[in-house]
């Protein structure tokens, strides 16, 4: 009786192992195919997607407060032969203060952001840091946000 039971259990174990091996091989093959498809999709996306065409940069780490507003130095960079247009915002006060801009490509300019009644905030503080955000409109209609923490003097 033991000779009949022994070979039956052994063949059942071998068939289970073969099933597991086939399952593992199919799983590995499916994973390899999925990785290949994802790699091709990301390569296609990278080929068709370019960086932002136009954006505003902040060439200086400081901005100054003069008169009723903040003077922020900006520079327009990009691949298109057009101007950077958008909105520059100083954040960090009780309100956000903004100004519209149009800066030619390659041009460096100081923009004046009106501070209104919050101008007096800068009188008693030595060199506060504020977040400045430029939102540049692209030819496609979307926009690119560039932000930097500037020290105001």
* Per-residue pLDDT reduced to its tens digit, 67-87: 889 999 999 998 878 899 999
CATH number of the domain to which 137 belongs: 2.60.40
Shared-domain flag, residues 67 and 24? no
Give strand ranges (E) for the chain.
Answer: 54-57, 62-66, 69-78, 84-91, 97-103, 108-114, 129-137, 143-152
* Domain coverage including residue 133: 54-152
pLDDT of residue 124: 75
Shared domain check, 19 and 63 = no
pTM beyond 0.75: the answer is: no
Residues in the chain: 153
Same domain (yes/no): 5, 32: yes
User: Domain count of the chain?
Assistant: 2
d(CA 109, CA 76): 9
- 9 with 34, same domain: the answer is yes
Burial of 70 (0-12, 13-18, 19+ CB in 10 A): buried
Task: Specify whether 40 is located in the same domain as 77.
Answer: no
């Amino acid at each position: 009786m033991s000779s009949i039971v022994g070979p039956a259990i052994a063949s059942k174990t071998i068939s289970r192992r073969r099933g597991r091996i086939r399952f593992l091989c199919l799983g590995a093959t499916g994973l390899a195919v999925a990785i290949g498809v994802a790699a091709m999709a990301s390569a296609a996306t990278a080929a068709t997607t370019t960086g932002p065409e136009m954006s505003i940069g902040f060439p200086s780490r400081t901005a100054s407060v003069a008169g009723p507003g903040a003077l922020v130095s900006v520079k327009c960079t990009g691949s298109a032969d057009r101007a950077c247009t958008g909105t520059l915002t100083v954040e960090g006060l009780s309100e956000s203060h903004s100004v519209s801009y149009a800066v030619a490509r390659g041009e460096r300019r100081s923009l004046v952001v009106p501070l209104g009644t919050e101008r007096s905030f800068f009188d008693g503080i030595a060199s506060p840091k504020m977040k400045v955000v430029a939102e540049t409109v692209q030819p496609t209609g979307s926009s690119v946000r560039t932000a930097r923490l500037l020290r105001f003097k």
